[in-house]
Chain A
């Protein structure tokens, strides 16, 4: 079976651009959030286990802008056998993670389950079968396009080029760079109604554990979930772990 030549007079591109266009609103929201994080001093960590070239490309876009006069922003590509362990050490609360790859990428999935606990803002770029919508703060997902096609024919490149371009547009609006006021009350009706995902740092003797929640260390009660281990993810409600989400890594 001989493949068809890609180009002919009426031929479309390998990427369905209407699928790309549907990402536009999410791109805008991601750009606003990232510009705000950068303005507050964030570093952007780029990961792409299946396409390291794309991870490097994202980082170089931000560090060395193609347009003279645009500010250099701290972005670092991390390529490591133990990505989670490295990012747990490197990333500070308030930092950004940009993960690029298919929904089947277990490393990315495991990382994105932890970004809330670590206090990171997450962006996930991908194509193909859709991941859970809650998997990242900003999901730039091209539905109906094969991830390998998006990776090799310029689809992903277009998305992160636009992410960079839009972040710098936001910088032209200094009045919008301040983060909206967050809930900081000790007792907050909104927050206390739902469980939060935390990561276990260390387990104490008296059915308690020190965990990371939103990038801050807290001590919680673990009576209901047995004895967790460091790296475990727990769902916590009102200072008590109510279920275990994932085994330790």
Chain B
């Protein structure tokens, strides 16, 4: 599907191309190949982090049970994943609704902070205003290097929050960082494939949190059945 290396010899070829049928076949094959790639990466990622998610999910469940809140943040597509994560915890498909809020939601707050103090502080300043020890901070960054996410982790750690980082590539600044209690790295160099596996990790984490909360709940608890 990529241009043939000899195309420069025949500059008219591409612009003369008229048969879309073979392109459609290539596109569909490419879609299937990328889906298979995404699936393999998701399975490998979940397998790699299974023990970490078990420990993290138990920790988060205890904090939720004690009244803790989860704050989520990230930039661009990761901002929308942060928003989706908070929505998933707050309005779950089963189990107990849990207090989770994305720090990417309020355009007044984001633009005020970006304009007045700098974009690298848009999340940390919100944590200064909102967070208490016992809360949780989850940051998503495919590079693992987003400055505002790293500054938010430092602030969160300082305030006694549990910090959870989702990264890609080799983890970037998030990996082996004292301010990140749990760092889950998706080992890929494709931003899209990283995000898809991060979504799988978050879904898995959410279900482990729910499982822990159900195990803690009393037999006549209000949580009801899962799904």
Which residues from chain A sit less than 8 Å from chain B, CB to CB?
Answer: 1-7, 9, 13-14, 17, 20-21, 23-25, 27-29, 31-32, 51-54, 56-57, 60-61, 64, 66, 146, 148-149, 151-154, 157-158, 161-162, 165-166, 169-170, 172-176
- Among B89-118, those with CB < 8 Å from A are 93-95
Q: Is the interface of A mostly helix, strand, loop or mixed?
A: helix
The CB with the most chain A CB atoms within 10 A, among B80, B196, B197, B199, is that of B80
In the complex, 11 of the A-B residue pairs with CB atoms within 8 angstroms, ordered by the A residue number, are: A3-B207, A7-B53, A51-B84, A149-B93, A153-B199, A154-B197, A161-B192, A162-B31, A169-B27, A172-B1, A172-B14
Evaluate contact between A175 and B192: CB separation under 8 angstroms. no
Evaluate contact between B214 and A152: CB separation under 8 angstroms. no
A22 and chain B: residue at smallest CB distance = B32
Evaluate contact between B81 and A152: CB separation under 8 angstroms. no
Bound together, the chains give a CA A52 to CA B84 distance in angstroms of 8
B141 to chain A, nearest CB (A): 13
Evaluate contact between A56 and B80: CB separation under 8 angstroms. yes
- The 4 A-B pairs of least Cβ separation, nearest first, read A154-B199, A175-B17, A28-B27, A57-B80
- Hey, what's the 0/1 contact readout for B176-196 against A, CB within 8 Å counting as 1? 000000000000000110011
Bound together, the chains give a CA A12 to CA B194 distance in angstroms of 18
Bound together, the chains give a CA A154 to CA B199 distance in angstroms of 5
Bound together, the chains give a CA A56 to CA B200 distance in angstroms of 19
Bound together, the chains give a CA A100 to CA B99 distance in angstroms of 25
Whether a CB of chain A sits under 8 angstroms from the CB of B215 is yes
B86 and chain A: residue at smallest CB distance = A53
Whether a CB of chain A sits under 8 angstroms from the CB of B203 is yes
Total contacting residues, chain B, CB less than 8 A: 62
Evaluate contact between A169 and B30: CB separation under 8 angstroms. yes
A204 to chain B, nearest CB (A): 43
Evaluate contact between A175 and B14: CB separation under 8 angstroms. yes
Partner of B31, one of A2, A3, A149, A166: A166
Partner of A173, one of B14, B93, B203: B14
Residues of A within 8 A of B62 (CB): none
Check A32/B77 contact, CB under 8 A, given A25-B28, A27-B28, A172-B3: no
Bound together, the chains give a CA A1 to CA B221 distance in angstroms of 11
Evaluate contact between B24 and A32: CB separation under 8 angstroms. yes
Check A154/B87 contact, CB under 8 A, given A2-B214, A28-B28, A161-B196: no
B80 and chain A: residue at smallest CB distance = A57
B23 to chain A, nearest CB (A): 6
The CB with the most chain A CB atoms within 10 A, among B34, B35, B191, is that of B35
Whether a CB of chain A sits under 8 angstroms from the CB of B18 is yes
Bound together, the chains give a CA A229 to CA B47 distance in angstroms of 58
Bound together, the chains give a CA A64 to CA B77 distance in angstroms of 10
Residues of A within 8 A of B76 (CB): 60, 64
Residues of A within 8 A of B220 (CB): none
Check A24/B83 contact, CB under 8 A, given A66-B191, A154-B42: no
Bound together, the chains give a CA A21 to CA B39 distance in angstroms of 11
Check A152/B195 contact, CB under 8 A, given A21-B35, A28-B31: no
Whether a CB of chain A sits under 8 angstroms from the CB of B204 is yes
B222 to chain A, nearest CB (A): 14
A170 to chain B, nearest CB (A): 7
Residues of B within 8 A of A53 (CB): 80-81, 83-84, 87
The CB with the most chain B CB atoms within 10 A, among A17, A29, A52, is that of A17
